[in-house]
Amino acid sequence: MKHKTTAAEVARAAGVGTATVDRVLNGRGGVSADKQRLVIECARKLGLDRNLDYRPSRILRIGVLMQEPGNPFYETLQRTFHRANELYFGQSIQISQWYYSLKKLPEAAQLLEKIAKSIDGLIVVLPDHDATNAALKRVAEKIPVITMASDLAYSGRLAYIGVDNRMAGRTATDLMGRLIGKDGGDIAIVTGLQSFVDQGQREIGFRATLAQRHPLCRVVSVLEARDQAELAGTMVANTLHAFPDIRGIYNLAAGDQEIVRAVQNAKTTERVIIITHELTPDRRRLLKEGALDAVIDQNPEHEAMAAVRAMANHLGRMTKEDSEATDATRTEIRIFMRENCL
């Protein structure tokens, strides 16, 4: 007759009392996550005939603070964090999202400190701003913080999840220079908010490589459209009027449809090359139509999931193998053009 493993044998193997084993196996709580995992592992090794799916009794609360989802990048992050919340429900991980307005960054600083009191770890996408920087440093002294997409390296953060933004800017330069051609030409840059470190680093990388490799190209205007699509279109229209010889537009933010419309309405004599970031459904369509020339994509879905896994690993809810967490996880960029955007 096959030996039937008892709770007492599991307790001896795990080095805990039988009451602890009982609480773990029956989901009664009151046991640390590490001991829960140890009891489950020992029970499995001993072949205990029970449903041994590990679900920690304590809920791990991860907060996300980012800009209001008014552009495709943040809409993608919002959907992905919602999906992560559903995916990791079985591991008792709860992901809650909060949003701030770029027009009210001091209020974002207050929100930072408020939500930090009710969560175990925080994932943020924030600009480089005095009020939010100070608040983030105070929060990072109490709970782990991960910066995502745009790094704030001196915030005391645990890790940064995102691309090398200077490299992304350099990549945009080479694409722009090659597409404009050997005769060069004037270029306009459209930003959302220049205090976002990612956008600043992309512009730095773009300008540096432009001077080195494409000296006949020059940046004649930088437009800060504050992630407002209509404003981006208006500013580009005005810039094309002021600089009719513009041959390229590098867009770091929202408003591609409006920028394309402004270029089409300007009826320039030379074709204007437009390069942007993040392959959203609208940008894919514009690529297929030939209205955009290239999209540099950083895969925000991957970044959001990687940030959640890195935080869960740090807080003991996932193994390092599960989370693939490192101190500064860099995600790869992908280049999409008309021929490969299907």
Residue type at 341 in one-letter notation: C
Q: Percent of the chain at pLDDT above 70?
A: 91
What is the pTM for the complete model shown? Answer: 0.78
Angle between helix axes 300-314 and 72-87 (nearest 10 degrees) is: 40
pLDDT band (50, 70, 90) for residue 53: low
Query: CATH 1.10.260.40 spans which residues of the chain?
Result: 1-58
Closest by alpha carbon to 225, among 102, 99, 74?
102
pLDDT of res. 40: 81
Q: Which two tokens stand for residue 79?
A: 């959907």
The CA angle 118-99-285, to the nearest 5 degrees, is 140
| Exposed/middle/buried for residue 123 (C-beta within 10 Å: 0-12, 13-18, 19+) | buried
CATH 3.40.50.10440 fits 165-297, yes or no: no
What's domain 1-58's architecture?
Orthogonal Bundle (1.10)
CATH 3.50.50.60 fits 60-163+300-332, yes or no: no
3-state helix, strand, coil in the chain (%, to 5): 50, 20, 35
Q: What count of residues does the chain have?
A: 342
Q: Percent of the chain at pLDDT above 90?
A: 65
pLDDT band (50, 70, 90) for residue 237: very high
DSSP SS3 for 274: strand
Query: CATH 3.40.50.2300 spans which residues of the chain?
Result: 60-163+300-332, 165-297
